Amino acid sequence: MQTLFRFLSHWPLGLLHAIGFFLGWATWWASPTYRRRFRENVAQSGLPWSAVRPAVGAAGKMVMELPWLWFRPADRPLGDKVRWLNSELIEEAKRQGRGVIFLTPHLGCFEVTAQSYAELFTEPGKPITVLYRPARKAAIRPIVETARRRPGLAAAPASLAGVRQMIRALRQGQAVGLLPDQVPPEGLGVWAPFLGRPAYTMTLASRLAQQTGAAVLLVWGERLPRGRGYVVRVDALEPALPEGGADQAQSAAALINRAMERLILQCPEQYLWGYHRYKEPRHDTALSGGAT
């Protein structure tokens, strides 16, 4: 599998996206379960089908761009393939000596945001740390665990050790990245509205901010047509996360979900509508003890 990924990493991004478009539609027609969930999530959002139809092909593009991103040689930077908007929000947090928590939904190319940040904003010994869930399939696990460790980029597993790694990074003024619309294990989230329906939502982002005083920013990578690259958009989380109080976790989760909704509605044609956002959380003993 790694050999295939390395081979594909040398292909032009535009060609990979073109193949991905057909892969997305092939998956759509081949899987009734995926098709049903996709349509149900779209209906729940209230958006018309015409606004989200391109997301079928975009899901395949996301898959096919992974070899190009993960196995691109370290001496071949993203360079002008990525353009940043509102990056002054990052510079302001760095001037204040604060860590930064980046919140990214399953929208566009979320892999490119961390890689580009690593190239442009990190310093030696101060990488951006991204949280990832180890792949369940043994054949894929080595690819995910090794490919995301690039210069300026560190990966933290979704475990107590990984959470502690992120806390240390934030306290040292570094950045971390999370996908807050990912369903967390049982006991590590609360039920909060998401596009009009309760969804089990992680509380990790608000706990990290509360414990470290880090700035919280929203970020997502818009995929440009014909392989031209990406535009990474940064925004502030407004209003700010609540501090303290018995219902702090619930309020923070609802606020973050509303922020994710706003991002998704900016570009619904690149959201992963087939993601099982409303599933019941799974029990995970590796994280059941919480984080301190």
Nearest by Cα to 9 from 110, 107, 111, 108: 111
Structure tokens that stand for 80 in this block: 């002008």
Q: What is the pLDDT of residue 288?
A: 46
State the Cα torsion 140-204-214-153 to the nearest 10°: -10
Q: What angle do CA 105, 87, 262 make, to 5 degrees?
A: 30
DSSP 93-154: HHHTT--EEEE--SBB-HHHHHHHHHHHT-BTTB-EEEEEPPPSSTTTHHHHHHHT--TTEE
Average pLDDT over residues 23-52: 97
Alpha-carbon distance values, 266 to 39, 57, 194, 269, 270 (Å): 19, 18, 16, 9, 9
pLDDT tens, position by position, 72-130: 887 889 999 999 999 999 999 999 999 999 999 999 999 999 999 999 999 999 999 99
DSSP 72-101: S-TTS--GGGEEEESTHHHHHHHHTT--EE
Structure tokens that stand for 1 in this block: 């599998």
Predicted TM-score (pTM) of this structure: 0.92
Banded pLDDT at 283 (limits 50, 70, 90)? confident
Banded pLDDT at 60 (limits 50, 70, 90)? very high
CB atoms within 10 A of CB 17: 23
pLDDT tens, position by position, 3-21: 888 899 999 999 999 999 9
Res 144 pLDDT > 70: yes
CB atoms within 10 A of CB 75: 6
Q: What is the pLDDT of residue 242?
A: 86
Helix 13-30 crosses helix 54-70 at what angle (to 10 degrees)? 130
Q: What gap in Å lies between CA 157 and CA 149, rounded to an integer? A: 12
State the Cα torsion 38-39-40-44 to the nearest 10°: 100
pLDDT tens, position by position, 152-207: 999 888 888 989 999 999 999 999 999 999 999 888 899 999 999 999 999 999 99
Look-up of token digits 């892969």: 23
**Which of 36-40, 95-99, 144-148, 232-236 has the least mean pLDDT?**
144-148
Percent helix, percent strand, percent coil in the chain, to nearest 5: 45, 20, 35
Alpha-carbon distance values, 217 to 159, 160, 243, 257 (Å): 23, 23, 17, 14
Nearest by Cα to 218 from 285, 184, 265, 172: 265
Mean pLDDT of the chain: 91
Res 246 pLDDT > 60: no
